Structure 1
Amino acid sequence: MITSVTETDATTADQNANADDVIIEDALKTERAVELDELPEDRYLNRELSWLDFNNRVLQLAENTELPLLERAKFLAIFASNLDEFFMVRVAGLKRRDEMGLSVRSADGLSPREQLKRIGERTQDLSVRHARVFTDSVQPALAEAGITVVTWAELSDDERDQLSTYFHEQVFPVLTPLAVDPAHPFPFVSGLSLNLAITVRQPEDGTQHFARIKVPDNVDRFIKLQGSQREDGHHNERFLPMEELIAAFGPQLFPGMEIVEQHAFRITRNADMEVAEDRDEDLLQALERELARRRFGKPVRLEVADDMTENVLELLLRELDVDADDVIQVPGLLDLTSLWQVYGVDRPKLKDRPFVPSTPAVFSESAKSLWRNLREGDLLLHHPYDSFSTTVQRFIETAAADPNVLAIKQTLYRTSGDSPIVNALIDAAASGKQVVALVELKARFDEQANIKWARKLERAGVHVVYGLIGLKTHCKTALVVRREGSAIRRYCHIGTGNYNPKTARLYEDVGILTASHEIGADLTDLFNTLTGYSRKDSYRNLLVAPQGIRRGILERIDREIEAAGRGEDARIRMKMNSLVDEQVIDGLYRASQAGVRVEVVVRGICALLPGNPEFSENITVRSILGQFLEHSRIIHFNAIDEFWIGSADMMHRNLDRRVEVLAQVEDPRLTAQLDEVFSSAMDPSTRCWELGPDGGWTASPGAGEPSFDHQVKMMERRRH
């Protein structure tokens, strides 16, 4: 399942860098370690347009009539949520750069203004198509299945009477019509809120006035109506949009006035924050101050119903200080993120078949057996096919309850609202263990939740740290220190996904549990760096950003190139969310020119241009989207026989401005499992999108050709 970035990850907040990132990233091009004068300047794809291509692939899933109907509605919601965050962060950053007059161009040579123009054109087309998919395809199909989104005009008299009572008792008291006139300035409109722009007229002299009503965002967007019983045992589900109800009772909100017109609109604001990290200021307090400012960010997009009159639109543009180029006209309902509510309807036959994750045998035994089994050999976990709650979560809970465990150290980037991981750390501290939690306060859109967890952990006696000044701590690591007789042994977890049991049911990730002495020593050094003043930049079995990952990847690419020169089977396989870093891309181009096969599976952004006879003939790129969000980062260097997993995508922010960890997986049993993931994902019959030398994505295999679903294949192996 592709998930909304707002619930992560937002799912994608990890897809976006902050506003400063879009300034810094292109400047880094001038510092590339690899000079490739023989390569053309136009060897990169634009990262912003590539992201829009990714969201277009999400939209294609919503268009796919072979998918279960409610899954199609879900993908419409995901598309909308993704686009919201894209504007709040990426577009906001480009606008800021353009307004500051910065002339630094993107890797593909476009100025900020040129990128904004192309983004605007592409977004308008995608937004209209998105709306049409709902109104022309998904909505009628839902109605046939007994799930109907209705208008006020389609309601019966009895339903209107019932809704009248509901409106006057539950809705009317919280509405605040705000007039706009010399005595009433235009009200502040919060980001992502749904609003009604209403024109009223005085009957006596015909004078017209403008008013704005905010649709309440603390109640469900869709009002659920009573439905009749169906033959299949389910009820017909009927939903009325809240703005329809408010519009129907407009005369009661403006008694004595005539309603001339009313139209929905929605504003998107710059949600980026600038936290000046000062050694003399509490980071938590500084972040809280910036969070309070976020809602007042500058507008970056105005979505309006396509029936809005020119006069009302001009008024909104003027009062909201929005450029005409930033207007997106949408046919039908605005804000289809609310389709998550419709997806919540209990209709299993209209959704993907439920999948029950498996639990490895090592976790079905006693706690003592867990430690013994990990001493005997490493364990690779592949979520959501392997349960997170009965493996990683149980690993932390077992450590918290074990009297022989002396210390637990863990990084927390994003976690769930009722996190059992956090509760286990609190229990461990209460039992006298030394517990260190590195809480990343700057995890985008999870800042408030992480502030809450940080305070709760501190009150429980956990040593809470916020990482290194100027860097986000994005690595996914846990270290357990246990006394065993007269010896001290360390048990470790390193993963590609967050310690979040909820998203772990939706995100595809891998992780390793190990009692390796070397990895234990590496994590000890890493936590000492994160909590103290150590500046260690080399490790035994880890690559750690910002110093080590890019350098380590490029070194290994060079070793594959050398192997190819000796006639060996040189091949590089990479699976990740995004591939943007120019130095890594140029390294892969060099590998291709040297005859190394390069196979990339990327979920989202890809700035690499494959299949070009001059520099990337031996490179293929594909993207897999499906029931789960492909989130793992895995790299394989075939000739030197190395597999790596970790938290880092090949992006500037990950490699230069975050603490990231890649761990080498050496056990042949585990590398065989990783090889199986690659083999399935890269099988010619796997349903995917392939990136062509023209920069376009094409669905593969073609119509009529045999194909299979990679994720279904992974699930079936667990079921058997």
Structure 2
Amino acid sequence: MNAASRALSADRRLFNRELSWLAFNRRVLEEATNSAHPLLERLRFLSISGTNLDEFFMVRVAGLKGQQIQGIDNLSADGMTATQQLDAIAEQADSLVVAQQAEWLMLREALAEQGLQVLAQDQLSDAQKQWLSSHFREQILPVLTPQAIDPSHPFPFIPNGGFSLAFDLRRGSKDPVVELLMIPPTLPRFIRLPGKTLAFIAIEAVIRAHLDQLFPGFELAGSGAFRLIRDSDIEVEEDAEDLVRYFRSAIKRRRRGRVIRLEFAVDTPADLEAMVREGVGADSALVVESAGFIGIADLGQLVEVERPDLKFPPYTPRFPERIIEYDGDCFAAIRSKDFIVHHPYESFEVVVAFLRQAAEDPDVVAIKQMLYRAGKQSAIIDALVAAAEAGKSVTAVVELKARFDEEQNLLWASRLERAGVQVIYGFVEWKTHAKVSMVIRREANVMRTYCHFGTGNYHPTTARIYTDLSYFTASRRAARDAAKLFNLTTGYVQPKGLELLTLSPKGLRDKIMQLIDTEIANARDGKPSAIWAKMNSLVDQRVIEKLYEASEAGVSIELIVRGVCCLRPGVPGMSSNIRVKSIVGRFLEHARIFVFANGERLPHRKARIYISSADWMPRNFDRRVEYMLPIENPTVHAQVLDQVMIANLIDNEQSWVLGPDGGYTRLKPGKRHFNLHRYFMTNPSLSGRGQALAGKAVPKLRLTQRG
């Protein structure tokens, strides 16, 4: 590192993590403006940007608020106090919300032109008003519970995400009455109106139009709407004696967390707003006013309507050809040769089939499974239950600390235990984030182990929209390492003598640093040197500094970082050889792949390639159980490098380039358009078949195709 680089202050060397996340969510929102997408898919992106922002406030902003309230003066890696970060977040978040509202107005108009209307009360026909009056009386009114706010009726508890209405009412000469109405989450946010056309009206508009039924004899003097977000993070205390009992209690406490954000409709009267702020205890909350639709995430309900012409063409993942070749026998296919499956282009059903076959196979004696997120409907859980009920030894490491899935994971753990599965809850201080399965099978009086290593969760829903890799192997070295990984999580047995895997929280950062050091040494020796890395987030300061050192040693570095990136690329004397791009499109890029040139010019068969469950973040290196696995099989090596990584590098239709100022610029394709999602949807993917499938050759990808 030269003197000029060392002189750069922290705020010049790193981007703020929270502001980088907001920049990512703005890229998600930008997809809502992308005219190349069908209208309902644009609306889906808008809804996702709302959900993302809610969770950001629940966790990240809540943490900063806690620091501010407690007077903790720790600085962020880029040198900002909690208060400075909160001020910057408020400014950026407000700008984001304004953009969300503007996009909703445009999409609402565009959808109306296509026959999908979201109407206001004054736009309804007489027939629609008559139907709605009856519907309100019969289907909505019985569910509503208005509450007067007075000395005998204290302000009620409003749950996280709660959307409510407040009314200032008069009845003759009597004292005014303030009423609060929490809209039950069991009621849909939008009500479908009868008729041949697709027409909807928001629930709050319906309620306001029928106040005479809700408050007969009263006159409306004023009304307002509001929605709040609460602190939803769960911090595990180191002295927690019973993790299950602790989380059951913590989930209940989460629902009563501190109010972090309070959003009012802009026309809410000042006295009603003051009453709500006092009632919910929002003294320290970020309070904002919205001139548009409150609760952008709820727009996702409209996406589910039956209008296939306004959505992406349906896509059915292929079942891996390797398994079909072996008549559905997963074990025979894996025994023949390691192979990799590329989700969602190839079906997650292959992972389910692997475990189902294990459950049904009389020669299988044991299954070991790590579960971080499994979804609400999980065939994986069904397979594990079936295996246990069939008398096999089944062990499941269930991570209770998977944020927002804690309650579901408790339910799965209970079901698994009832079936006879040995359930392990991991560590108090660490999260078990590795995605690994082991199936131990007796073959000719010898125990053979089949392993699955994934970059994504065992979650059937996200597996249809997240791009991830599933690696299947019968390697004895991989099996021995996987067994040590499980023994670490189940019995605190420290893994010694690992042959293939690198694990965190001890060793993964050091291994990454060593691999970067090798590239630095090669560059200084005049050998080809390069790093290609694909991940969700890049935050770890030590790794970033090592990448800066590599850059200035002459190592060419290409980073594909979908979300948060604290590294500042393209700064002369610090990161001049580093390029960063983010891909946001139809599918969510989720796989972690790390490539090191190893003295050769990429792409090359001698390059070192790793897949991993870990991003390059302090939490993944220091507070999580993660794995990193080298890809040694030549066929799989070529598939990951020459197909997956190059496709990511040359994509120019869904890619954003990060500049040294922190701004992201959408790539313009120029003459050569390349969309990596479309490429893998329309061409044979990996399938364990090498470079051909059903007689159709996979088009050769070259870095020169970059637009």
Provide TM-score, normalisation by structure 2.
0.93
Superposed CA offset, 1:663-692 (max 9, x none):
111112111111121111112745310000
Q: Which residue of 2 aligns with 1:258?
A: 219
**Distance of 1:219 and 1:619 partners within structure 2:** 50
The answer to whether 1:87 aligns with 2:57 is: yes
SS at structure 2 position matched to 1:659? strand
**Distance of 2:355 and 2:285 partners within structure 1:** 51
The one of 156, 159, 163 equivalent to 1:190 is 159
1:537 to partner: Cα distance: 5.8
Q: Which residue of 2 aligns with 1:541?
A: 500
1:706 to partner: Cα distance: 3.9
The one of 195, 205, 210 equivalent to 2:178 is 210
The one of 147, 151, 170 equivalent to 2:139 is 170
Provide the aligned length of Structure 1 versus Structure 2.
Answer: 673
Q: Which residue of 1 aligns with 2:104?
A: 134
**Distance of 1:214 and 1:528 partners within structure 2:** 49
| Amino acid corresponding to residue 293 of structure 2 in structure 1 | L
Q: Which residue of 1 aligns with 2:38?
A: 68
The one of 343, 349, 366 equivalent to 1:383 is 343
Q: Which residue of 1 aligns with 2:242?
A: 282
1:399 to partner: Cα distance: 1.1
1:695 to partner: Cα distance: 1.0
Q: Which residue of 2 aligns with 1:423?
A: 382
Q: Aligned ranges for residues 301-700 of structure 1 at < 5 Å?
A: 301-323=261-283, 326-365=286-325, 369-389=329-349, 391-536=350-495, 539-639=498-598, 641-675=607-641, 676-683=643-650, 685-700=652-667
Q: Aligned ranges for residues 35-50 of structure 1 at < 5 Å?
A: 37=6, 40-41=9-10, 42-50=12-20
SS at structure 2 position matched to 1:84? helix
Q: Which residue of 2 aligns with 1:109?
A: 79
SS at structure 2 position matched to 1:125? helix
1:533 to partner: Cα distance: 3.1
**Distance of 1:553 and 1:169 partners within structure 2:** 63
1:633 to partner: Cα distance: 0.5
Aligned identity (percent) is 44
**Distance of 1:327 and 1:598 partners within structure 2:** 42
1:182 to partner: Cα distance: 2.1
| Amino acid corresponding to residue 315 of structure 1 in structure 2 | M
| Amino acid corresponding to residue 121 of structure 2 in structure 1 | W
> Is the 1:45–1:608 contact (alpha carbons within 8 Å) kept by the matching residues of 2?
yes
Q: Which residue of 2 aligns with 1:57?
A: 27
> Is the 1:128–1:329 contact (alpha carbons within 8 Å) kept by the matching residues of 2?
no
> Is the 1:519–1:540 contact (alpha carbons within 8 Å) kept by the matching residues of 2?
yes
Q: Which residue of 2 aligns with 1:701?
A: 668
**Greater displacement, 682-691 / 578-587:** 682-691
**Distance of 1:599 and 1:402 partners within structure 2:** 45
The answer to whether 1:710 aligns with 2:669 is: no
**Distance of 1:394 and 1:277 partners within structure 2:** 39
1:367 to partner: Cα distance: 6.6
> Is the 1:120–1:325 contact (alpha carbons within 8 Å) kept by the matching residues of 2?
no
> Is the 1:687–1:707 contact (alpha carbons within 8 Å) kept by the matching residues of 2?
no
1:654 to partner: Cα distance: 1.1
1:289 to partner: Cα distance: 0.6
SS at structure 2 position matched to 1:718? coil
> Is the 2:440–2:449 contact (alpha carbons within 8 Å) kept by the matching residues of 1?
yes
> Is the 2:167–2:180 contact (alpha carbons within 8 Å) kept by the matching residues of 1?
yes
1:718 to partner: Cα distance: 2.8
**Distance of 1:688 and 1:203 partners within structure 2:** 62
Structure-2 change in CA distance of 1:435 and 1:684 (3 Å): closer
Structure-2 change in CA distance of 1:598 and 1:242 (3 Å): same
1:255 to partner: Cα distance: 2.4
Q: Which residue of 1 aligns with 2:128?
A: 159
> Is the 2:137–2:213 contact (alpha carbons within 8 Å) kept by the matching residues of 1?
no
**Greater displacement, 161-170 / 649-658:** 161-170
- Where in structure 1 are there 5+ consecutive unaligned residues? 1-35, 229-235
**Distance of 1:544 and 1:635 partners within structure 2:** 15
**Greater displacement, 672-681 / 303-312:** 303-312
Q: Which residue of 2 aligns with 1:243?
A: 204
SS at structure 1 position matched to 2:614? coil
| Amino acid corresponding to residue 361 of structure 1 in structure 2 | E
**Distance of 2:559 and 2:268 partners within structure 1:** 45
1:542 to partner: Cα distance: 0.7
Provide TM-score, normalisation by structure 1.
0.91
The one of 204, 207, 222 equivalent to 2:190 is 222
The one of 279, 288, 295 equivalent to 2:255 is 295
1:495 to partner: Cα distance: 0.7
**Distance of 2:637 and 2:683 partners within structure 1:** 17
SS at structure 1 position matched to 2:512? helix
> Is the 1:277–1:283 contact (alpha carbons within 8 Å) kept by the matching residues of 2?
no
SS at structure 2 position matched to 1:540? coil
SS at structure 2 position matched to 1:52? helix
Superposed CA offset, 1:10-32 (max 9, x none):
xxxxxxxxxxxxxxxxxxxxxxx
> Is the 2:372–2:402 contact (alpha carbons within 8 Å) kept by the matching residues of 1?
yes
Structure-2 change in CA distance of 1:550 and 1:538 (3 Å): farther
> Is the 1:132–1:331 contact (alpha carbons within 8 Å) kept by the matching residues of 2?
no
**Distance of 2:123 and 2:498 partners within structure 1:** 67
1:717 to partner: Cα distance: 1.3
> Is the 2:260–2:284 contact (alpha carbons within 8 Å) kept by the matching residues of 1?
no
| Amino acid corresponding to residue 561 of structure 2 in structure 1 | V
**Distance of 2:195 and 2:28 partners within structure 1:** 31
**Distance of 2:428 and 2:128 partners within structure 1:** 58
> Is the 1:362–1:369 contact (alpha carbons within 8 Å) kept by the matching residues of 2?
no
| Amino acid corresponding to residue 216 of structure 1 in structure 2 | P
Q: Which residue of 1 aligns with 2:693?
A: none
Q: Which residue of 2 aligns with 1:98?
A: 68
1:451 to partner: Cα distance: 0.5
| Amino acid corresponding to residue 500 of structure 1 in structure 2 | H
Superposed CA offset, 1:530-550 (max 9, x none):
111312265211111100111
> Is the 2:364–2:392 contact (alpha carbons within 8 Å) kept by the matching residues of 1?
yes
